[in-house]
């Protein structure tokens, strides 16, 4: 790769004049790879759509689609290792071989932007955030000081300001970080610092037992955070929830009082807006009242549900969020900003975040710089290098406007509502679905007070998590009892296996708080339509009808 | 954007059949933006090289280059805000406007891949990792379960395995995570768990004071970690270093003994391989002996220096690293894998990492899956969503081979050596530099036992951090004393300001442990050459010669 040249300068056997890389060849490789990514990933994210504009062509499209574009090309680990040849060797490989590798990696990767990927709380392809992400990778910034990341620091400031506005705070502070779990850690540590600033220097040794409260439906990062921060998982008090998965305020108050009596030190309540499995929203106003009475920090984990704030119709789900002291909100979920895009937001404007987290590294945060060093926000972070995650959300927001983002949220929730309840506009396919797609066998779990299965009155789901069992033919006439539940528990994993091997669809399942395995369907992407909801029901039935 | 169509299905005022996005327009936007990124970022990363192949054309190129391609286009914060119009509004913007925004964002961003960006411990453009990063963004995976990220989990396994081999362990475990700071947190928590597994559940309250040891030259994340983990910054014992910035083993042993006498509980020593400012390497073998004697976990923060392991010539810098219990190593630094690419590696193979970090979320880590769930490694992480950072390093390694990576390390260290010592091969420009570029005025700080400035015998720098003062003409005849130091302290910030405003070059400065502000020059990119080293000296002299 090193062109021979006159005046070669050698030190320690290394040629030092001129670059060692062949830039022209490298650039060509990037261009070729970009073409491949465009064709194999970006264009295929909506491939099926092109042929699927009318309902009448649905079945034909379904067949051709299965042949052409799978959500995943399943291979078991050992086989995939052989196929990919992952080993790293002494010698490098030529560009054409690397391009084949790129193709293989795309081929065997799960297409998370495929319209039938419903497996996680993220999905789809947003063209605008994607461009911002490509720019990020090409520019390779690290966001800690204004001198190195002038644009991205200002972008972060602008995005945080707007998110703070949507929470309903007059002012605030915040930082983008790598995940809702990390945001929750930020909150826990900040609440602890506020409770007792000495902990930063002295640590927890010798202090009374700190205790925090969250709902029994909270994200598992609560336990991880408590463990990581030296608080201990036993000092996370899980407050009971109601039938829909919402924290019961009276239970919270009781548990706080108990802890106080026991001599523990309550310092924090973590409410959840949009629980991971059921999509439940805790009653924030009532929880805020309790926090005020007991002088507790209120953190709202709105990693999943925060996006509802963008919708005038649905933001009532987070009624009272402006009373929180801090909020976690991940635009990489329903707002599709790309993994990861997670904001930790704080109501305090007295520099609490900076006082809590700063370490004043003199090689990075010099105080004798020639510009206003209050723009060097990196010392608020637990990280040193940090990616400009706010930028991808900013780009999508600029492109779509608040109204476009609102429309996405409204659409995802309307589609979820259609899936769960068949609320189709007159002239739609409601009756057809009931006849052909056996919707009756999909029982919503979003209300937990189910007595039997069929015909129970159920509340509307609040958010985009539609949890249901598929009851296969062999169980339809069986009486409810331990045997029934044991058998039903095996159904979702078996269908999931068939689904993965076929590659037609991906959605998740789980057991949850005494309930046997059920599916969780999540709609996010604006590339998903009513037709995909039909497909989902149809396909599960197809995969499970011999069970 | 929504095409009108027959059979429209409306729910809650939202059209639900068909997608809402105009895929064709979105794809065109991505294509246009990719072209822009290619032209404005990727091609320009080596622009100057095209005109700069021979030494004779150096001065001409320098002039034309300054007019055409700056490292940064400096604007103060308030002005830049006005120029960029960052505010987010209700309405979205058309594609042509968004493309102009992309152009502006590139224009005002610091070009960290410019051959004259020496400001941080990362730089340059690696074409292969860049392609992997574009693929990552397009595929948008999250690495926690094999079902969602089959390829990227296996890639991570392969890369960790190889890194473990280079450390010299027979086997091991590890996880990629968002930063060396976070790796150090992983280590601190894991060492604590090993010391007392009950802490995971019980927390630190009521326990004796845990204490850890690191060098006075360590990264600032040690303090951040101790604070975050509830250990407290006062329980970080900073052990004294020698003249080159290396931890003094005898001092370490003394401090451990003192702590034991005081009734504190020593549990961890964090050695540093490649300190942030001076690039010093702690003597690992002697430190490992002490750890063995006292039963302490040895963590090596090789975030910066770990890449020397790739070089048969330079890996002796980390002599003894195989005796560490855990290692932090960031391939995004000298190996140019792109921010962020950081491995936390553990010698233990008894699932200590998993036992310490697991929370067993039932919705993600179901145990009744149809494949071997030991591939679902996400529960080792403090994160939930996690980016496939190993992949970009894997791609570069595949492309360049171990030998290519080794060559990069060797070249960076040879260039550093040239800058500090003018060790030019006979026929090179050593004499010319001495005459025209006043190299005598650049005094290495890598040995701290400087008596005077000129002609002091100094040791060779070990790594790629070249720390020096520039002595401007007005100080050259001045006697050394408080006034001299006070004046010299102002020189680097003043030159830095001029440098940023001109945009010709970026390198960092800092005060450090009683030394007044000095420059720190770091060479990483293979696109950097001997000519750039000349430019650096030349340019600083140009900017500072009236001082």
Q: What is the ipTM of this complex?
A: 0.92
Which residues of chain B make contact with A530, given a CB cutoff of 8 A?
9, 16-17
**Beta-carbon separation of B9 and A530 below 8 A:** yes
- Torsion angles phi and psi, residue A448, rounded to 5: -95, 0
Residue A179 φ then ψ, to 5°: 130, 150
A146: preceding bond cis by omega (within 30 degrees): no
pLDDT score, position B7? 61
CA distance B15 to chain A (A): 8
Closest CA of chain B from A99, distance in Å: 10
Q: Which residues of B touch A344 (CB under 8 A)?
A: none
The answer to whether the Cβ–Cβ distance between B150 and A277 falls below 8 Å is no
Q: For residue B411, give how far its alpha carbon lies from the nearest alpha carbon of chain A (Å).
A: 6
Q: Pick from A27, A142, A398: which is nearest to B339 by CB? A: A142
Say yes or no to pLDDT of B346 above 70. Answer: yes
Residue B199: its pLDDT value, please? 97
Tens-place pLDDT, residues A3-41:
344 566 677 777 777 777 789 999 999 999 999 999 999
pLDDT in tens, A31-88: 999 999 999 999 988 866 444 434 444 444 444 444 458 999 999 999 999 999 999 9
d(CA A309, CA A405): 10
The pLDDT of residue B446 is above 90: no
**Minimal-distance CA residue of chain A relative to B46:** A23
Q: Which residues pair with A290 in a beta bridge?
A: none
Mutating which of A194, A385, A445, A499 best tests the B interface, going by the most B Cβ atoms within 10 A? A385
- C-alpha B231/C-alpha B223 separation (Å) is 10
CA distance A169 to A164: 6
Per-residue confidence (pLDDT) for residue A62, from 0 to 100: 45
Minimal-distance CA residue of chain B relative to A208: B205
Q: Does pLDDT of B62 surpass 70?
A: no
Probe site for chain B from A209, A384, A487 (most B CB atoms < 10 A) = A384
Buried/exposed code over B458-497 (b: 16+ C-beta within 10 A; e: otherwise): eeebbbbbbbbbbbbeebeeeeeeeeeeebbbebbbbbbb
Q: Which of A74, A133, A220 sits opposite B359 (nearest CB)?
A: A220
Q: B236-270 burial, b for 16+ CB within 10 Å, e for fewer?
A: bbbbebbebbbbbbebbbebbeebeeeebbbbbbb
pLDDT at position B168 is 98
Residue B339 scores a pLDDT above 80: yes
**Cβ–Cβ gap A5/B530 under 8 Å:** no
E strand or H helix that includes residue A104: helix A95-108
Smallest CA–CA distance from A28 into chain B, residue = B127
> B312: part of which helix (H) or strand (E)?
none
Mean pLDDT lowest for which of B27-36, B127-136, B414-423, B469-478? B414-423
Percent of chain B with pLDDT over 70: 87
Distance from CA of B455 to the nearest CA of A (A): 23
The pLDDT confidence band at residue A318, using thresholds 50, 70 and 90, is very high
For residue A103, give the chain B residue with the closest CA.
Answer: B135
Contacts of A265 (CB under 8 A, 6+ apart): A195, A207, A208, A209, A210, A211
Tell me, what DSSP letter sits at residue B42?
I
Examine the pLDDT at A260 and tell me if it is beyond 50.
yes
**DSSP three-state, residue B110:** coil
Contact B135 A182 (CB under 8 A): no
Q: What is the model's pLDDT at position A7?
A: 60
What six digits make up the tokens of A392? 């991808």
Q: Nearest residue of A to residue B489 by CA position?
A: A368
A333-349 pLDDT per residue, tens: 999 999 999 999 999 98
Contact A30 B130 (CB under 8 A): yes
Nearest CB neighbour to B37, from listed A26, A138, A404: A138
- Minimal Cβ distance to A131: which of B29, B179, B383: B29
- What does the block give as tokens for A379? 């010392």
Three-class SS state of B390: helix
The C-alpha angle A104, A110, A116, rounded to 5 degrees, equals: 135
pTM (2 d.p.) = 0.93
Q: What are phi and psi of B328, to 5 degrees?
A: -105, 135
Q: Please determine, for residue B26, whether its predicted confidence score (pLDDT) is greater than 60.
A: yes
State the pLDDT at residue A69: 87
| Backbone region of residue B233 per phi and psi (left: phi > 0; alpha: psi in -120 to 50; beta: other values) | alpha
User: pLDDT of B382-419, one tens digit each?
Assistant: 999 999 999 999 999 999 999 999 999 999 999 888 87
Question: Which pLDDT tens digit goes with each residue over A93-130?
Answer: 999 999 999 999 999 999 999 999 999 999 999 999 99
- d(CA B349, CA B351) in angstroms, rounded, equals 6
In tens, the pLDDT along B352-366 reads 999 999 998 888 999
Place of tokens 């004499």: B431
Q: How far is B28 from chain A (nearest CA, A)?
A: 9
Cβ contact B34–A34 (<8 Å): yes
User: In this predicted structure, what is the pLDDT of residue B459?
Assistant: 55
Confidence of residue A458 (pLDDT cuts 50, 70, 90): very low
Contact B193, B326 (CB under 8 A): no
- Confidence band, pLDDT 50/70/90 cuts, at residue B322: very high
Q: How many C-beta atoms surround the C-beta of residue B4 within 10 A?
A: 6
Chain B residues near residue A506 by CB distance under 8 angstroms = 147-148
A30 contacts B42? CB cut-off 8 A? yes
pLDDT confidence tier of residue A410, bands split at 50, 70 and 90: very high
User: How far is the alpha carbon of A100 from chain B, nearest alpha carbon, in Å?
Assistant: 12
Q: Record the tokens describing residue B210, joined without a space.
A: 């845990």
Beta pairing class for B14-15 and B173-177: unpaired
pLDDT score at A401? 97
Most B-contacting residue of A134, A374, A511 (CB-CB within 10 A), to test interface: A134
For residues B467 and B461, give the distance between their C-alpha atoms in angstroms, rounded to a whole number.
9
Residue B77 has what pLDDT? 97
Give the count of beta carbons closer than 10 Å to the beta carbon of residue A312: 12
CB pair distance less than 8 Å for A224 and B359: yes
Which residues does chain B have within 8 Å of residue A516's beta carbon, measured at their own beta carbons?
none
A432 band by pLDDT with thresholds 50, 70 and 90: very low
pLDDT of residue B8: 66
Give φ, ψ of B8 to 5 degrees: -60, 135
Of B26, B87, B89, the CB nearest to A127: B26
**Can you give the pLDDT at residue B305?**
98
Q: Quick one: closest CA in B to A376, which residue?
A: B77
Name the residue in chain A with its Cα closest to that of B422: A11
Query: What is the average per-residue pLDDT within A185-214?
Result: 97
Q: Kindly report the nearest CA distance between residue B476 and chain A, in angstroms.
A: 23
Report the gap between the CA of A374 and the closest CA in chain B (Å). 10
Q: Could B109 and A150 be called an inter-chain contact, meaning their C-beta atoms sit closer than 8 Å?
A: yes
A489–chain B nearest CA distance, Å: 10
Contact between A307 and A334 (Cβ < 8 Å): yes
pLDDT at residue B292 greater than cutoff 60: yes
DSSP state of B3: P
Return the number of CB contacts < 8 Å for A and B. 607
Q: Which residue of B has its CA nearest to A382?
A: B224
Cα B18 to Cα A439: distance, rounded to the nearest angstrom: 21
> How many C-beta atoms surround the C-beta of residue B64 within 10 A?
14
């Amino acid at each position: 790769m090193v062109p021979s040249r006159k005046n070669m300068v050698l030190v320690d056997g290394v040629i030092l004049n001129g670059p060692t890389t062949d830039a022209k060849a490298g650039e060509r490789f990037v261009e070729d790879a970009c073409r491949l990514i465009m064709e194999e990933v970006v264009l295929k994210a909506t491939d099926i759509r092109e042929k699927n504009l009318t309902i009448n062509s649905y079945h034909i499209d379904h067949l051709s689609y299965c042949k052409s574009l799978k959500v995943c090309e399943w291979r078991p680990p050992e086989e995939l290792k052989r196929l990919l040849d992952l080993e790293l060797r002494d010698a490098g490989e030529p560009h054409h071989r690397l391009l084949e590798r790129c193709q293989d990696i795309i081929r065997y990767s799960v297409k998370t932007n495929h319209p039938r990927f419903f497996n996680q709380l993220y999905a789809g392809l947003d063209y605008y955030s994607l461009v911002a992400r490509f720019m990020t990778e090409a520019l390779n910034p690290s966001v800690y000081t204004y001198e190195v990341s002038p644009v991205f620091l200002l972008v972060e400031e602008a995005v945080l300001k707007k998110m703070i506005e949507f929470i309903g705070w007059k002012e605030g502070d915040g930082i983008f970080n790598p995940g809702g779990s990390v945001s929750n850690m930020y909150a826990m540590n900040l609440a602890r610092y506020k409770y007792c600033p000495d902990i930063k220097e002295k640590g927890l040794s010798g202090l009374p037992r700190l205790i925090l409260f969250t709902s029994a439906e909270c994200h598992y990062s609560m336990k991880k955070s408590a463990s990581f921060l030296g608080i201990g998982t036993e000092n996370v008090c899980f407050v009971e929830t109601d039938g829909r998965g919402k924290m019961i305020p009276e239970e919270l108050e009781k548990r706080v009082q108990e802890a106080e009596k026991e001599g523990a030190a309550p310092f924090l309540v973590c409410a959840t807006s949009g629980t991971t499995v059921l999509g439940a929203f805790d009653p924030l106003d009532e929880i805020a009242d309790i926090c005020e009475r007991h002088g507790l920090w209120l953190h709202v984990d709105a990693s999943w549900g925060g996006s509802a704030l963008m919708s005038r119709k649905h933001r009532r789900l987070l009624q009272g969020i402006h009373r929180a002291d801090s909020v976690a909100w991940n635009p990489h979920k329903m707002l599709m900003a790309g993994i990861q895009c997670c904001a930790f937001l704080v109501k305090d404007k007295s520099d609490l975040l900076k006082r809590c987290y700063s370490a004043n590294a003199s090689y990075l945060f010099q105080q004798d710089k020639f510009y206003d060093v209050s723009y060097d926000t990196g010392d608020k972070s637990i990280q040193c290098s940090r990616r400009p995650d706010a930028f991808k959300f900013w780009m999508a927001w600029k492109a779509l406007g608040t109204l476009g983002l609102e429309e996405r949220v409204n659409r995802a929730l309307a589609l979820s509502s259609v899936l769960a309840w068949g609320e189709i506009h007159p002239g739609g396919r409601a009756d057809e679905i009931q006849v052909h797609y056996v919707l009756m066998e999909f029982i919503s779990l979003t209300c937990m007070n189910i007595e039997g299965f069929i015909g129970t009155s159920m509340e509307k789901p609040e958010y985009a998590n539609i949890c249901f069992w598929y009851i296969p033919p062999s169980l339809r006439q069986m009486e409810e009892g331990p045997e029934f539940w044991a058998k039903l528990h095996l159904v979702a994993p078996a269908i999931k296996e068939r689904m993965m091997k076929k590659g037609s669809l991906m959605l998740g399942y789980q057991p949850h708080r005494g309930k046997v395995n059920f599916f969780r369907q999540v709609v996010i992407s604006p590339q998903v339509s009513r037709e995909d909801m039909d497909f989902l029901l149809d396909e599960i039935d197809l995969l499970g009808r011999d069970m």
